[in-house]
Amino acid sequence: MVILQYEMEEKDLPIIKEVYQSVGWMKHDEQIIKQVFDASTHQVFAVVDGKIVGFARALSDGVFNAAIYDVVVHQAYQGTGIARLLLEDMIAQLREVSCIQLIATTGNEPFYAKMGFRKLKTGMAIYKNQQLAQEYLD
């Protein structure tokens, strides 16, 4: 059974790091994790048997725009509907916002399309990391 929680505690940082690492995101140390979640306006965590197995976070102005980041589910729990549950909850949290944006990791675009996200005609970005620029920019 999946339980959703909306607060992160200091003791959760190693578990969140483990979830990131399970999907190959190795640059997220506990200090960075704390920084990005503290700066996020919205967050949700999926908990199974008392342990965080997935999460999503967003930044929003609360009126016009929001950007969803890091919809991540531990590799061992992928394919169980947890990502859908997290994303549905995040969209519900952002229901008053007129535009919700999201940048998908490569290969996950079909999942987000099923959830209602569409490609932007005018979306642009600057990636300071050359490897990410090559992966995500036209």
Q: What pLDDT was estimated at residue 37?
A: 97
pTM over 0.85: yes
Q: Which two tokens stand for residue 20?
A: 């990131």
Nearest partner of 67 among 39, 47, 30, judged by Cα: 39
Catalytic residue among 6, 20, 69, 112: 112
Looking at residue 61, what is its pLDDT?
Answer: 98
pLDDT score at 70: 93
- Does residue 112 have an active-site annotation? yes
**Which tens digits make up the pLDDT trace of 11-70?**
999 999 999 999 999 989 999 999 999 999 999 999 999 999 999 999 999 999 999 999
Strand (E) or helix (H) holding 100: strand 99-102
All domains of the chain in start order, with CATH: 2-136 (3.40.630.30)
Range 99-106 average pLDDT: 93
Average model confidence (pLDDT) across the chain: 95
